[in-house]
Amino acid sequence: MATIDAEISEESMSLAIDDIVYVAVGKDVGESKSTLLWALQNFSIKKVCLVHVHQPAKMIPLIGGNFPASRLEQHELREFRELERKIMHKVLDDYLLLCHRAAVHAEKLYIEKDDIGKGIVELMYQHAIKKLVMGAAAERHYSEGMMDLQSRKAKYVQQCAPSSCQIWFICKGHLIHTGTSTDAFADLDPFTLNISGEITGLELELSEIPDMEEESDLHTPDALEQNSVEQLYKQLDRAMEEAEKFKREAFEESLIRGEAEKTSIKALRKVDVLSKLRHPHLVTLIGACSEACALIYEYLPNGNLEDRLNCEGNTPPLSWQVRIRIATELCSALIFLHSSTPTSIVHGDLKPGNVLLDANLSCKLSEFGICLADHNTRNITQYHKTDPEGTFLYLDPHFLTTGELSPKSDTYAFGIILLQLLTGRPEFGLVKEIRDVIDEENLTSLIDPLAGDWPFVQAMQLARLALKCCQMERSSRPDLASEVWSVLEPMRDSCGPLSRFQFGSLQCQTPPPYFICPILQEVMQDPHIAADGFTYEAEALRGWLESGHDTSPMTNLELERFELIPNHALRSVIQEWLQQH
């Protein structure tokens, strides 16, 4: 091995100063960095070209599982592909930084292809690549004295590359193999390679013309017996196909049932968690519907933030003071979730559509993903259930590449919402637009005029804070409790007292209907959620069950189980209402 390295080192000294070495790099910088460093150390060159094959994802990684890209709407898929390319360029920029530190000029060359090996070969032919350095195998497969190529793409490139190109295969910083193409068709282009060995149209046509002697043999006794056997085989094939069809349908049915069971279990977990949470800016859980696996929350009359920013239904625009208050309230709710013990709670599906507004335009966060992040395992998600529609642009890029969710994932989505509060614009491309206008010192061109005369200093401060939250690198995002709150709280205080309506839920003299026990018809003191999804006074429902009933007092349907879940969140709201009345 040392001899091979020495030979390459000597050969590199003979390269012309304008020679370009192409280095194939993958999406994992940690894995491909050693290959790039080997090239930089072993070739006396001033220019490197990074070769990368971007594989568009066929399955979209979402919280709780993967979602087929083919099932997305065209605009959703387009948005996700743009985000994928943005992540790709960020990865390639990390490689460029390594080259810059080595005082080597570097360029990017990339292609989108489902197969990495075929993508590399296509680039080799398109750009007449003469010298290529690439990986021989994943680093975990490296062993001392290793001489053979291990990865499928490395073998494919070795076989199909043009003979004029010399290739160095590297693994974990060691030269494993070097040479040119070994394929007999190496000098042919990829199109020629694809059609080699195929039957021409003339050959196919001739092969289909039956021989006259063969035609006469079809009516002999042996031929008839053969036909009978063939019919039996055909019947057997049909029976096998039908059996396979039934087997496939049974498997799909079992998957549907299994998914329904998982959904039911997750809904119960969500009820258990939400019933214990109480915060002024978290929506209150009222009950649950077991048949639809749906949760029932308190009604908030002013809809959601997305509709209000778009002035849906001719609703009046939100003033800049209200927007700052909403940002501060939303931040406080996230800090509360992230600081929960014994495990922090990550919302996981943060977007304007999940931020509800009460009668006073105060915000309440809803549609929890309920991702429990274990502090001892780098805050990785344990479970989650969410609807994939419309959430891609708010998803943490780190999650899209690693599948790991953390409180900083909510920080990323919170940054996007801050920009929307500031501009009133859709989320697509908003981060880049804000960066551009800040660089051009023209932020006022994007500030939503419907918000009123937003103080420029505050607007600039909010824009810069939002961009920090939207950093691609998770570690570069600010901490909500210390850094973000210290900026938003003074902003909110500077807005002065906001006029408030006097018909909010807590100001009403008549208790909201969801405060009333369906059995006693009185305000509940100790609300509990039953298996039918309704909330009752615990003592009243226990009396109902102990009297011999096994059905729901509301639906008269048989209860699946008799255990009750305390609704601490609703109890806290009721107690607050009682204190004011």
Over 60: is that where the pLDDT of 358 sits? yes
Confidence label for 196 from pLDDT (cuts 50, 70 and 90) = very low
Which pLDDT score is estimated for 151?
Answer: 83
CA angle 67, 89, 423 (to 5 degrees): 75
Distance between CA atoms of 529 and 511, rounded to whole angstroms? Answer: 19
Which pLDDT score is estimated for 203?
Answer: 34
Among candidate residues 97, 80, 86, the one with its CA nearest the CA of residue 36: 97
Q: CB neighbours of 400 closer than 8 A, spacing ≥ 6?
A: 61, 83, 84, 87
Count the alpha carbons within 13 Å of 269 in the hemisphere toward its beta carbon.
16
Mean pLDDT value of segment 149-173: 88
Q: Pinpoint the residues of the chain covered by CATH 1.10.510.10.
A: 301-378+388-494
Query: How many CB atoms lie under 10 A from the CB of residue 32?
Result: 22
Over 50: is that where the pLDDT of 427 sits? yes
Q: 131 versus 290: which is more confidently predicted?
A: 131
Confidence label for 194 from pLDDT (cuts 50, 70 and 90) = very low
Confidence label for 378 from pLDDT (cuts 50, 70 and 90) = very low
Q: 358 versus 384: which is more confidently predicted?
A: 358
Which pLDDT score is estimated for 47?
Answer: 87
Q: 565 versus 392: which is more confidently predicted?
A: 565
Which pLDDT score is estimated for 243?
Answer: 67
Q: 16 versus 355: which is more confidently predicted?
A: 355
DSSP state for residue 481 in the 8-state scheme = I
Q: Worst-scoring range by mean pLDDT, 84-93, 106-115, 157-166, 290-299? A: 290-299
Which pLDDT score is estimated for 250?
Answer: 66
Q: Pinpoint the residues of the chain covered by CATH 3.30.40.10.
A: 513-580
Over 50: is that where the pLDDT of 198 sits? no
Among candidate residues 290, 283, 230, 299, the one with its CA nearest the CA of residue 266: 290
The tens digit of pLDDT for each residue in 446-457 reads 999 999 988 899
**In the chain, what percentage of residues exceed pLDDT 90?**
24
Question: What angle do helix axes 29-42 and 74-101 make, rounded to 10 degrees?
Answer: 40
Mean pLDDT value of segment 402-421: 90
Q: For domain 513-580, give its CATH number from 3.90.320.10, 3.30.70.2190, 3.30.40.10, 3.40.50.410.
A: 3.30.40.10
Over 70: is that where the pLDDT of 325 sits? yes
Which pLDDT score is estimated for 266?
Answer: 57
DSSP string of 104-128, one letter each residue: -EEEEEEEE-S-HHHHHHHHHHHTT
**In the chain, what percentage of residues exceed pLDDT 70?**
71
- Of 18, 93, 189, 349, which is the active-site residue? 349
| Encoded tokens for 46 | 């001033």
Q: CB neighbours of 72 closer than 8 A, spacing ≥ 6?
A: 60, 80, 388
Which pLDDT score is estimated for 10?
Answer: 46
Phi/psi for 560 (5° steps) reads: -70, -30
Q: Pinpoint the residues of the chain covered by CATH 3.40.50.620.
A: 17-180
The tens digit of pLDDT for each residue in 455-464 reads 899 999 999 9
Mean pLDDT value of segment 253-276: 59
Mean pLDDT value of segment 342-368: 86
Among candidate residues 155, 494, 123, 518, the one with its CA nearest the CA of residue 325: 494
Which pLDDT score is estimated for 49?
Answer: 94
Q: Is 349 considered catalytic here?
A: yes
Tell me whether the omega of the peptide bond preceding residue 342 falls within 30 degrees of 0, making it cis. Answer: yes
Confidence label for 499 from pLDDT (cuts 50, 70 and 90) = very low
Which pLDDT score is estimated for 52?
Answer: 95
Tell me whether the omega of the peptide bond preceding residue 316 falls within 30 degrees of 0, making it cis. Answer: no
The tens digit of pLDDT for each residue in 464-496 reads 999 999 998 888 999 999 899 999 988 888 876
Residue position matching structure tokens 């989108």: 112
Residue position matching structure tokens 């002013």: 302
Confidence label for 233 from pLDDT (cuts 50, 70 and 90) = low
Q: Which CATH superfamily is domain 17-180 in?
A: HUPs (3.40.50.620)
Q: Which CATH superfamily is domain 301-378+388-494 in?
A: Transferase(Phosphotransferase) domain 1 (1.10.510.10)
- Mean pLDDT estimate for the chain: 77
Q: Is 70 exposed, middle or buried (0-12, 13-18, 19+ CB in 10 A)?
A: exposed
DSSP state for residue 521 in the 8-state scheme = -
Mean pLDDT value of segment 420-431: 89
Q: 567 versus 289: which is more confidently predicted?
A: 567
The tens digit of pLDDT for each residue in 41-100 reads 888 778 899 999 999 988 876 655 567 777 777 777 887 888 888 889 988 998 998 888
Which pLDDT score is estimated for 257?
Answer: 57
Distance between CA atoms of 177 and 135, rounded to whole angstroms? Answer: 10
Query: How many CB atoms lie under 10 A from the CB of residue 227?
Result: 12
First to last CA, the chain: 85
Confidence label for 370 from pLDDT (cuts 50, 70 and 90) = low
Mean pLDDT value of segment 312-331: 92
Which pLDDT score is estimated for 498?
Answer: 55
Mean pLDDT value of segment 391-411: 81
Q: 286 versus 93: which is more confidently predicted?
A: 93
Question: What angle do helix axes 320-338 and 485-494 make, rounded to 10 degrees?
Answer: 150
DSSP state for residue 381 in the 8-state scheme = B
Q: What is the pTM of this model?
A: 0.56
Distance between CA atoms of 182 and 186, rounded to whole angstroms? Answer: 7
Mean pLDDT value of segment 293-311: 84
Confidence label for 280 from pLDDT (cuts 50, 70 and 90) = confident
Over 70: is that where the pLDDT of 262 sits? no
